[in-house]
Amino acid sequence: MAASACFDAVLAATAALRDDFTLSRAVVGLAVTATVFGYTVALLPAGAASSRAAWPGLAALGGAAACRLVGLLRVR
């Protein structure tokens, strides 16, 4: 669920990025691609650790931590 929220938030922010920072569509596309790619790469170690530890909650914790680092999810 956290992964879906982060992906959706990044994609929903494209118009705001373009308008607020006066970026071209190509630059916004590269930024979104880099963010999604980085987030996916960050989830791989969390998935491997979850499989080894046999604790499925670890993947959700890693996903939430990645979202927090990107600044897309506010954990209070």
pLDDT tens digits, residue range 5-62? 767 777 888 888 888 888 898 988 888 888 888 878 877 777 777 677 666 666 677 7
Can you give the pLDDT at residue 44?
Answer: 79
Say yes or no to pLDDT of 74 above 60: no
In a domain, 66, yes or no: yes
Structural domain that includes position 66: 2-70
Asked whether residue 53 is domain-assigned, the answer is: yes
Task: Record the pTM.
Answer: 0.55
Domain for residue 18, yes or no? yes
* Domain assignment of residue 45, yes or no: yes
> Please, how many CA atoms are within 13 Å of residue 45, restricted to the half-sphere of its CB?
7
**In this structure, is residue 9 part of a structural domain?**
yes
Domain count, the chain: 1
The answer to the question of residue 76 being in a domain is: no
Task: Report the C-alpha gap between 70 and 64 in whole angstroms.
Answer: 10
What does the pLDDT read at residue 56? 62
Q: Does residue 14 fall inside a structural domain?
A: yes
